[in-house]
Amino acid sequence: MTDTPLRTSDLPLPLLVRGKVREMYAVDSDHLLMTASDRVSAFDVVLDPPIPEKGRVLTAVTAIWLARLEKAQTSRKGPGGLRGLLHHGVSADPEVIAERVPALDTPELRPRWEGRSLLVRRTRPLPVECVVRGYLAGSAWREVRDHGTLAGEGKPPGLPDGFPEGIREADRLPDPIFSPATKAEAGDHDENISWDRVVEILGEERAREVRDRSLALYRWGASRAARAGLILADTKFEFGLDDEDRLVLIDEVMTPDSSRYWTARDWSPGSTPPSLDKQPVRDWLASVEGWDGTAPAPTLPHEVVESTTRRYLDLLQRLERV
């Protein structure tokens, strides 16, 4: 391991939000600093110890995707569904951040934010989690298995008439589906919602815009990930509005905390393959007898921590190559 894990950044800026993993700080009237710690959560419980390198990987992966999004938008061959889409990223470059926020540029503070922070523009976040699924896994698979629905709706187009008969865990969907959820308060679970509910919350025009942008982002990201031998099974996007009410992509983008990545060689419909994220943590917790899923959680063993760090770094290294 190459990093001492960071539990919390504790920077000398006004703290706006402390989530399970990130701290969001106010920089000025127009900008925020989004800083990823090495905290890890499972089943909505923050665990100990933190996972070395995790925060740096999350920030690096988001920065990679935002830079590639800008490049795709300027390319004649870039996906049309991405053109004109704004994002909130300003810079992940520590030197740029230090210049813009001089209070952070000290030897004591730099290890707390350098390489794990993204300077972003302020927006008004929309209260909908924009999940896109290309494969049946996790809660989507459980919904199909238990209720015969997907994303709160009936049979998606392209699936057999006997749905859900003949559908297997980790099956690829004929077309990616938009599977929205409401954003939960800290400590609560996100709640899957129907398309009609999204329209009710956002209005029809805005709802269509976030759905279409989310699907375009997923298709583009899945195509790029495939070049690295990866399957982007599902992912979650968040959007906000700027001062001109334009849609802006915000928060983390296609990271291992907001997405489910598999290696193509491990994919075989009928069971969910291991994912390049905190899967070792979830697997170990599921094996612990007597834990009821509430805080405090049992302490993670050293080998689970090491295995989780390796998976995060493996994903980053794969994405850096394509």
Same domain for 236 and 142:
yes
Q: Has residue 72 been placed in a domain?
A: yes
Same domain for 148 and 99:
no
| pLDDT level of residue 151 (50, 70, 90 thresholds) | confident
Same domain for 113 and 129:
no
* Predicted TM-score of the model (pTM): 0.94
Beta strands in the chain (DSSP E): 15-18, 22-26, 31-36, 40-42, 45-47, 86-87, 89-91, 117-121, 124-125, 128-135, 172-178, 181-182, 191-192, 230-241, 247-250, 259-263
> Domain containing 131: what range?
125-266
pLDDT in tens, 223-262: 999 999 999 999 999 999 999 999 999 999 999 999 999 9
Residue 184: per-residue pLDDT: 62
Residue 185: per-residue pLDDT: 59
Same domain for 204 and 101:
no
Q: Has residue 299 been placed in a domain?
A: no
* Helix 54-74 / helix 302-320 crossing angle, nearest 10 deg: 20
Counting residues of the chain whose pLDDT is more than 70, the rounded percentage is 97
Counting residues of the chain whose pLDDT is more than 90, the rounded percentage is 78
Q: Has residue 318 been placed in a domain?
A: no
| C-alpha span between 35 and 229 (Å, rounded) | 29
Same domain for 111 and 129:
no
Q: Has residue 307 been placed in a domain?
A: no
Q: Has residue 278 been placed in a domain?
A: no
Q: Which of 44-58, 130-144, 298-312 has the lowest mean pLDDT?
A: 130-144
Residue 79: per-residue pLDDT: 85
| C-alpha span between 2 and 5 (Å, rounded) | 9
pLDDT in tens, 88-144: 999 999 999 999 999 999 999 999 999 999 999 999 999 999 999 999 998 888 888
Domain end, chosen from 266, 295, 313, is at: 266
Q: Any idea what the CATH number is for the domain that residue 198 is in? A: 3.30.470.20
Residue 2: per-residue pLDDT: 47
Q: Has residue 9 been placed in a domain?
A: yes
Q: Has residue 43 been placed in a domain?
A: yes
Q: Which of 185-189, 270-274, 283-287 has the lowest mean pLDDT?
A: 185-189
Q: Any idea what the CATH number is for the domain that residue 56 is in? A: 3.30.200.20
Per-residue pLDDT at 28 exceeds 60? yes
Domain end, chosen from 244, 266, 288, is at: 266
Same domain for 215 and 140:
yes
| pLDDT level of residue 52 (50, 70, 90 thresholds) | very high
Residue 1: per-residue pLDDT: 42
Three-state DSSP at 67 gives: helix
Residue 217: per-residue pLDDT: 98
| C-alpha span between 24 and 18 (Å, rounded) | 6
Same domain for 99 and 163:
no
Residue 166: per-residue pLDDT: 81
pLDDT in tens, 211-224: 999 999 999 999 99
Residue 75: per-residue pLDDT: 82
Same domain for 232 and 196:
yes
Domain end, chosen from 95, 122, 149, is at: 122
Average confidence (pLDDT) over 148-159:
75
Is residue 169 within 8 A of residue 267, CB to CB? The reply is: no
| C-alpha span between 91 and 234 (Å, rounded) | 26
Domain count, the chain: 2
Q: Quote the mean pLDDT of the chain.
A: 92
Same domain for 185 and 206:
yes
Same domain for 102 and 3:
yes
Same domain for 255 and 165:
yes
Residue 161: per-residue pLDDT: 72
Same domain for 116 and 36:
yes
Q: Has residue 273 been placed in a domain?
A: no
Q: Which of 22-31, 202-211, 254-263, 286-295 has the lowest mean pLDDT?
A: 286-295
